[in-house]
Structure 1
Amino acid sequence: MPRLVRFLIRHALIGFGLAVLFVGALLLLDVARLGTLIGQSPFGGLAALVLVVCVGITFASAQMGFAVMLLPRDHDAPQDRGGTRAPSGSALRLAPARAATGRNRAR
């Protein structure tokens, strides 16, 4: 398996692990009576599973994004400056314009 795929899978699993801990803390601390609601519901296990999966997808995506954005840059590669064409030697110059005065205005 390529290194990049392993890197992304590892960070996705870290995100899912954090999501399990987060949902566990939500249920254990009974935030907004969520733990009581899920505990007393006949479909509480399914609700907890759906909550873990949805929060897990969010945390895994965020963890993978952070991991990719925090990769070190290769300083030997040319920097991306927004284009591939070499800059030309001539810079833009302002052209003189004639300003109309009170006497020269067209009526």
Structure 2
Amino acid sequence: MPPLVRFLLVHAAIGFVIAFVFVGGFLLADIGGMRTLMLASDIGFVAMALFTFMTGLTFSSVQMGVAVMLLGEPEDNQPPSSRWLRRIWEAAREWLAPPLERVPASIKKNR
């Protein structure tokens, strides 16, 4: 199987797994009475299957799109997974930094 097809299939599967977790939480929380309606209906299984499939289709499309957009050009010899994980880690550290660390050095000197 070509590497790009395998890449897209893996990320589509990741999206479907995320969708299954989302639908499970959605039905567990009984948001909008959906679980109650599905259990009370005689075609509730069809509704649940259709809801899960459509949510999985959406989540897998988003996951594949994000994965393709994060490919970019290789900056160094690290594998692609470590590059995007490093970017996420750096963005999270910057966002969670205490306010004093976010202040530019030129402003810190004036204090």
TM range (shorter): 0.5 to 0.7
Q: Distance in 2 between matches of 1:31 and 1:50?
A: 17
Structure 1 stretches of at least 4 aligned residues deviating more than 2 Å after TM superposition: none
Cα RMSD between the aligned structures?
1.1
Q: Is residue 16 of structure 2 the alignment partner of residue 28 of structure 1?
A: no
Correspondence for 2:19:
19
Aligned residue pairs total 75
Q: Which has the larger radius of gyration?
A: 1
Residue correspondence of structure 1 range 91-102 to structure 2 within 5 A: none
Correspondence for 1:68:
68
- What SS does the corresponding residue of 1:72 show, helix, strand or coil? coil
Residue identity opposite 2:20 in structure 1: V
Deviation at 1:74, TM superposition (A): 4.3
Q: Is residue 70 of structure 2 the alignment partner of residue 38 of structure 1?
A: no
- Provide structure 1 residue ranges, at least 5 long, that are not aligned to the other structure: 76-107
Q: Distance in 2 between matches of 1:25 and 1:41?
A: 20
Q: Distance in 2 between matches of 1:56 and 1:38?
A: 18
- What SS does the corresponding residue of 2:73 show, helix, strand or coil? coil
1:4-51, Cα deviation, whole Å (9 max, x unpaired): 100000000000111111111111110011111111111111000000
Correspondence for 1:7:
7
TM-score norm. by structure 2 comes to 0.65
Q: Distance in 1 between matches of 2:29 and 2:74?
A: 45
Correspondence for 2:105:
none
